[in-house]
Amino acid sequence: MASMRNDLEPFFKPRHIAIVGVTRSESGFGGMSFLQKLQEASFPGTLYCINPKATEIRGLPAYPNLSSLPLVPDLAMVCVAAAHVPAVLEECGRIGIRYIHILTSGFKEIGTEQGRQLEEQIAFIAKEKGLLIIGPNCMGPYCPASGLTAWGAIPGAPGPLGVISESGSITQRLTEYAYSLGIGTDKAVSVGNGTVLNSLDFLEFMGQDEGIRVIALYIESMRDGRRFFDLVRGINKRKPIIAWKGGKTEVGARTATSHTGGMAGEQMIWEAVFRQTGVIQVSSLDEWMDAVSAFALLPPPGSRGVFLIGGGGGTSVVSSDTCIHEGLDVPSPSSATMKKLRETVPAVGSIAGNPLDDWQTFVNPAYFGAILDLVCREPAMGMVIVSRLISRKAFHTSSLPDSIPETIEQVKQRENRKPVVFVVDSEGGDPELAAQGASLRAEFGRGGIPAYPSVKRAARALIHLYRYYKRLDQINILRVIQER
């Protein structure tokens, strides 16, 4: 069984999918909703509906069971009641279906003896028949490149992100969130109870997958701490792992037990593991996505120093405080750079320095590019945060043309490129402003530049980025010393 776990690719590239338990009713969650989403995404392969009481469902022929199909499908999605799942697995074993996703809940996570015994049956049948099973109690695999999008962003977009999660809802939220910001997903999987294949199997798989550059991991419990430690320590040297650990509090741990049937570990142990392995630890969906954006789109920073391009004196002050609080530095520019800034920054209504308060950066992309050139030559400036105003009558800028495409191009054409992120602040309760801000941040994201709704979130993402690459540098230096 262990050797087969290295071959999980077929879960994400099926040509023929059988959905066991597709109802005739088009409402509700389950086999029918999965079928609807796959059709909506124009799944390029063949979909087979299994329902013994129907002859046709949504324009597709329905079959009474798996054995009556004209061919053996690559993947079976099992959506029948928990009590019927063992019989379906036995049939999969008889006809040769090895890759199975069990959507159904009602196993050990409900805390009953019957649920526990049903889950033990799943494990026994899988071992006896050589079945590879995701679940039960989960959303299963997701891969936009192959049209396998029964959940998440539909149809989604391919990209550098790999997602592994014990929670289906959190996996779905992250893939949708990433898509809204212009970041595609290579592969994602919701493992649920992890009875046969668990998070570590997919972590090992994604660690070897060259199409995945960033791994986002949501975990609530861990059965094999040693394997987890060894895996993340090795993988994190090649690609960043951004982990959100659920069940940190007593109430959260208790909820995690009822969620996937696992037991959450002690928080102090987890903190030590993340620290020793270099895993980037986050504590919310927003921080998770912020870090994913940074690692997916930005080059390594050369230092923790940040150059702030802001809008307004007060904004510059609080932005500096925020960055320093998050662990970044706000160094003063060199005398040569200050001389250049004083030559171009207006003496009235602006501030030359770091932070730089200069309205010209908002309206003149070429001027903004010239400022970037100055920053790129400053060794102390490892990163840049640019506050981008939303054109509004309140700021007397309601008629400004959209210069975002030209601004993005200015960032990308710098030869000595440093990490540059934008802040489009749309907080304050105004729904129209919030919608404008979300739209602008998505435009930057689609252009390959991270954009955040606050300086605090931008700074936290950048300190994650800096610490990860700083640790890699230290590991490489130590390796060179040891080889001498």
249 vs 194: CA distance, rounded Å:
22
pLDDT at 125: 98
Q: What burial class does residue 360 get, using C-beta atoms within 10 Å of its C-beta: 0-12 exposed, 13-18 middle, 19+ buried?
A: middle
Question: Which tops the pLDDT comparison, 315 or 102?
Answer: 102
Express each pLDDT in 98-110 by its tens digit. Answer: 999 999 999 999 9
Residue in 18, 37, 175 with CA at minimum distance from that of residue 102: 18
| Beta-sheet pairing, 60-63 with 56-57 | antiparallel
pLDDT of the residue at 359: 81
pLDDT digits (tens, 9 = 90+) for 343-369: 988 876 578 899 998 888 888 999 999
pLDDT (average), residues 385-405 = 71
Q: How many residues does the chain have?
A: 484
HSE (side-chain half, CA atoms, 13 Å) at 101: 29
Shortest CA distance to 300 belongs to which of 409, 374, 213, 183?
A: 213
Residue 127 pLDDT level (bands cut at 50, 70, 90): very high
pLDDT at 433: 85
Mean pLDDT of 46-75: 97
Model pTM?
A: 0.91
Q: What is the amino acid identity at position 148?
A: L
Q: Looking at the predicted structure, is the pLDDT value of residue 393 above 80?
A: no
Helix (H, G, I), strand (E, B) or coil at 130: coil
Per DSSP, the three-state class of 237 is coil
**CA 471 to chain CA mean position, Å:** 22
Tell me what the mean pLDDT of segment 382-403 comes to.
Answer: 73
Q: How confident is the model at residue 256 (pLDDT cuts 50, 70, 90)?
A: very low
Residues 144 and 157 sit within 8 Å (Cβ to Cβ): yes
What pLDDT band is residue 312 in, cutting at 50, 70 and 90?
Answer: low
Average the pLDDT over 184-193 and give the result: 97
Mean pLDDT in residue range 338-347: 87
Residue 315: pLDDT band (50, 70, 90) is confident
State the pLDDT at residue 265: 52
Distance CA 378, CA 25 (A): 64
Higher pLDDT pick, 474 / 397: 474
Stretch among 138-152, 174-188, 247-261, 461-475 having the lowest mean pLDDT: 247-261
- Identify the pLDDT of residue 87: 98
**The residue to which tokens 């389950």 are assigned:** 30
More confident residue, 158 or 430: 158
- What residue segments make up the domains of the chain, in order of their start? 4-294, 299-473
217: nearest Cα among 266, 270, 181, 253:
270
Per-residue pLDDT, 358: 85
Q: Are strands 241-245 and 280-282 parallel, antiparallel or unpaired?
A: parallel
* Residue 323 clears pLDDT 50, i.e. is over it: yes
User: What pLDDT, on a 0 to 100 scale, did the predictor assign at position 156?
Assistant: 95
pLDDT in tens, 189-210: 999 999 999 999 999 999 999 9
Query: Angle formed by the axes of helices 267-277 and 225-235, to 10°?
Result: 30
pLDDT tens string 141-168: 999 999 999 999 999 999 999 999 999 9
Q: Return the percentage of the chain with pLDDT > 70, whole number.
A: 90
Task: Identify how many contiguous H helices and E strands the chain contains and give both numbers.
Answer: 16, 18
What per-residue confidence (pLDDT) applies to 14?
Answer: 97
For all residues of the chain together, what is the average pLDDT? 90
Indicate if 299-473 has the same CATH topology as 4-294.
yes
CATH 3.40.50.261 fits 299-473, yes or no: yes
Q: What is the pLDDT of residue 414?
A: 80
The dihedral over CA atoms of 393, 394, 396, 401, expressed in degrees to the nearest 10, equals: -50
CATH class of this structure's domain 4-294: alpha beta
Cα 22 to chain centroid, rounded:
30
Angle value at C-alpha 153, between 449 and 37, nearest 5 degrees: 160
Beta bridge partners of residue 422, listed in sequence order? 386, 451
The pLDDT tens digits for 15-40 are 999 999 999 888 879 999 999 999 99
Average pLDDT (317-324) is 94
What 8-state DSSP symbol labels residue 299? P
CA dist 229 and 241 (Å) reads 12
The answer, yes or no, to whether residue 52 has pLDDT greater than 60, is yes
Residue 6 has pLDDT above 70, yes or no: no
| Whole-number Å distance between alpha carbons of 324 and 343 | 28
Residue corresponding to tokens 């936009």:
144
